[in-house]
Amino acid sequence: MSVTEMFSSIQGFLSADQDVREDIRKVVQTLEQTGREILTVLQSVHQPSGFKEIPSKCARARELFCTVRTQLGELKTKFPVEQYYRFHEHWRFVLQRLAFLAAFVVYLETETLVVRVEVAQILGIEVVREKGFHLDVEDYLAGVLIMASELSRLAVNSVTAGDYTRPLRISNFINELDSGFRLLNLKNDPLRKRYDGLKYDVKKIEEVVYDLSIRGLAKDQ
Amino acid sequence: MNRREGEGCPRRNADAAQDGDGNSSSPVIAAFKVFQQELDTKHDKHERLVKISRDVTIESKRSIFLLHRVTSVPNADDILKEAEVKLDSVRQKIGQIAEELRGEDIFQFHRAFTPGIQEYVEAVSFLHYIRNRSLISLEEINARLVFMTGEKDLAEAPQTGGQVLTFQVTPSDYLLGVADLTGELMRMCISSVGNGDIDTPFQLSQFLRQIHDGFSYIGNTGPYEVSKKLHTLRQSLGKVEDACYALRVRGSEIPKHMLADVFSSRTTLLDPEEGVV
């Protein structure tokens, strides 16, 4: 095989590769759009009026997750399933956001940590790699960490809205999460960097709880 | 106040102790135990692959150094044989990589072993060039990376569907390896001039030009590193072309035994600082 032939065959491979990436990018863009819509719906819980409407907001978000499922279904058709990690970077960010949104909805509904299987169900994807398009454990954990900082914000705003018991519940939840994360041996990677931010969320919520307790507000209800 | 603190502390300790041993009371902790295992397994595999990749890199570099001696000895066959033996041992190591990657998504761990693979491509294509004066193809490289697994796996072989294990070099690793090869060819060109070999530089410059054209054809469709290496490739090509130019112009005037002097001074002038990538 001559040098020219060799290079043109590789060029063929590379442009095919680029086409696949282009397709993936298009679908990922629509996914990001839906993700932003869900976020907007959920953001309203920070409003004083929003606290009463949590169930209806969650129901609305769950409706939007249907769109996510179809869009993720479309993404699955864009590349061979065994090459998930080859294109992983393209959807890593959006999948983390979606995991966060799913975890946030579940927290608002039940005040528990969503399990990975449930996130995967909400998104309509698999948990283990062997079965197809799946939720990588690191992406799931990153999503949970995003939720932690959202909850620290929620604790502050719930006090403003006059809900003094929520911060205590959030505090318990975050502490449990923190001890969970402390079990992990994280490498010096993006997940570790994000985990390093968790202690500030914990601190923030503890301050809120402190403020409430010294004023005797926490025991009101 | 004091009593409060006294109360607080044991509770905390109790919590910590609970966290320490596998308490099943908290589903969160139980879930994180599973994540811990999963992440640790993954990191361990990654570390093992990095280690093997480093070994592959070192051994491949040694074979390249060995192959550079070809220009200065009268019979090259021994060196080529020795290099082949070395590369066989490198292939054994790549077999270990393939073993680690069995059933995994190779792109998940690609970053762990790509430096080693690129170096191997460089070494094996250098050897191929010295032998055949042509560019080894990706298929030829992959064809040699087929491994038979050991006897211990024979028992489970029926499940896996055979004892053959293959390793596929990705086209971009191949490209990057070939880009590194051009640096070696440039060195080979300069040193062969030093030994009074007049034909090799011209062959090399032609070959390098073909590779350069190929890379220009790919341009920026390739991965980011390729465009970086293209710059180095241009410099190497420039050096080789200059060498050929000097040979043509002055080769007829200067007695052969003095050519080496001409070049050693020329090359130091050309690249004062940079080594071969």
Say if A194 is an interface residue toward chain B (CB within 8 Å): no
Nearest CA in chain B to A5: B214
- For range A86-101, the mean pLDDT: 94
pLDDT at B8 over 60: no
**Could you tell me what percent of chain B has a pLDDT over 90?**
44
Q: How many CA atoms lie within 13 A of B22 on its CB side?
A: 5
Say if A185 is an interface residue toward chain B (CB within 8 Å): yes
- For range B170-195, the mean pLDDT: 89
pLDDT tens, position by position, A42-65? 998 888 887 888 899 999 999 999
For residue A134, the SS3 value is strand
Distance from CA of A103 to the nearest CA of B (A): 13
Confidence grade of residue A1 (pLDDT, cut at 50, 70, 90): low
Quick one: pLDDT at residue B150?
A: 57
More confident residue, B16 or B227: B227
- For range A133-140, the mean pLDDT: 92
Say if A33 is an interface residue toward chain B (CB within 8 Å): no
For residue A62, the SS3 value is helix
pLDDT at B172 over 50: yes
Q: Do B176 and B118 form a contact (C-beta atoms < 8 A)?
A: yes
Confidence grade of residue B86 (pLDDT, cut at 50, 70, 90): very high
Quick one: pLDDT at residue B160?
A: 46
Quick one: pLDDT at residue B5?
A: 40
Quick one: pLDDT at residue B271?
A: 47
Quick one: pLDDT at residue B18?
A: 42
Quick one: pLDDT at residue A208?
A: 94
Domains and CATH numbers, chain A: 1-130 (1.20.58.190), 136-221 (1.20.58.200)
Mean pLDDT estimate for chain B? 80
Range of weakest confidence among A120-124, B146-150, B258-262? B258-262
Q: Do A129 and B28 touch (CB under 8 A)?
A: no
- For range A199-220, the mean pLDDT: 88
Nearest CA in chain A to B25: A176
Quick one: pLDDT at residue B265?
A: 54
Q: Do B107 and A86 touch (CB under 8 A)?
A: yes
Quick one: pLDDT at residue A73?
A: 93
Instruction: With CA atoms as reference, report the closest residue to A89 among B168, B221, B108.
Output: B108
Quick one: pLDDT at residue B87?
A: 94
| DSSP codes, B141-206 | HHHT-EEE--GGGGGGHHHHT-SEEE----HHHHHHHHHHHHHHHHHHHHHHHHTT--HHHHHHHH
Give the list of residues 6+ apart from residue B171 with CB closer than 8 angstroms, or none: A10, A13, A14, B138
pTM score, whole prediction? 0.83
Say if B30 is an interface residue toward chain A (CB within 8 Å): no
Confidence grade of residue A31 (pLDDT, cut at 50, 70, 90): very high
Alpha-helical regions (H) of chain B: 2-20, 27-68, 77-100, 110-132, 138-143, 157-160, 171-194, 199-218, 224-250, 256-270
